A = this chain, B = another copy of it.
Amino acid sequence: MKLLKEKIISDGKAIGNNIIKVDSFLNHQIDINILKEIGKEFYSRFKNEDITKILTIEASGISIASITALYFDVPVVFAKKTKSLNLDEEVYSQKVFSYTKNRFYDIKVSKNYLNKEDNVLIIDDFLARGQAALGLYNLVRESCGTVKGIGIVIEKGFQDGGNLIREKGIRLESLAVVKKIDDGKIIFQKNGG
């Protein structure tokens, strides 16, 4: 997605050879206009999949999923990472390993909000090692629903999450795939996104 890659180049920042900082428009401050374009793009890629629900995970995925849901006209469900007083007792739950925090955490969705009739589009801001996306995929499997695909804004093509997902036969659409960070410069894959 050309517009997104231009935005990443103009407003994003590379830190070291691993971190792509886009908190000026994607995951701390949010540029609603670029999100509308992202939502339209996900819609154009998945509009024939009869999507009934968009699933994401708190917190950075929520804004992207919500704006995307406008185009599909379906509800969003966001998986919770933290214990919540008000969460139903009956939940789907998966363990997800966080490489940045070096520990497992639980992600949860109430059983009321995913079921076997659902055709689910999973949305998240980043894909790196793929653990969060696979955790969301397993939540949907636990509900006997169908994952129609995973939509990612920025895939770190130099980490293995993308391969892990594609190897499972899951449809993965990443709007920008970063091949590498080279001396502070973000290099995209030619055919990625």
* Residues of chain B within 8 A of A15, CB atoms compared: 86
Residue A24 interfacial (CB < 8 Å): yes
Closest to A64 in B: B66
Contact A69 B30, CB 8 Å, known A62-B62, A85-B100, A110-B23: yes
Q: A19-B86, A23-B87, A59-B59 are in contact. Are A30 and B110 (CB under 8 A)?
A: no
Contact B76 A30 (CB under 8 A): yes
Query: With A58-B59, A63-B66, A66-B66 in contact, do A76 and B23 touch (Cβ < 8 Å)?
Result: no
Copy count, this protein chain: 2
Is the C-beta of A75 less than 8 angstroms from some C-beta in chain B?
yes
User: Which of chain B's residues have a CB closer than 8 A to the CB of A73?
Assistant: 32-33
Given the interface contacts A58-B58, A66-B63, A66-B66, does A80 sit within 8 Å of B19 by beta carbon? no
Taking the closest CB of chain B, its distance from the CB of A105, in whole angstroms, is 11
A57-90 contact mask (Cβ, 8 Å, vs B): 1 or 0:
0110011001101100111111010000111100
Q: Is the CB of A86 within 8 A of B30?
A: no
Cβ-defined contact, B113 with A75, below 8 A: no
Q: How many residues of A contact B (CB 8 A)?
A: 38
What is the interface of chain A mostly: helix, strand, loop, or mixed? Answer: mixed
Are the C-beta atoms of B32 and A86 separated by less than 8 Å? no
Contact of A19 among B29, B75, B85 (CB under 8 A): B85
Q: From residue A102, how far is it (CB to closest CB) to chain B in Å?
A: 12
| Interface pair B35/A77, CB less than 8 Å apart | no
A21 within 8 A of B: yes
Partner of A67, one of B21, B28, B66: B66
In the complex, the answer to whether B32 meets A69 with C-beta atoms within 8 Å is: yes
| Chain B proximity mask over A7-27: 1 for CB below 8 Å, otherwise 0 | 000000001000101011100
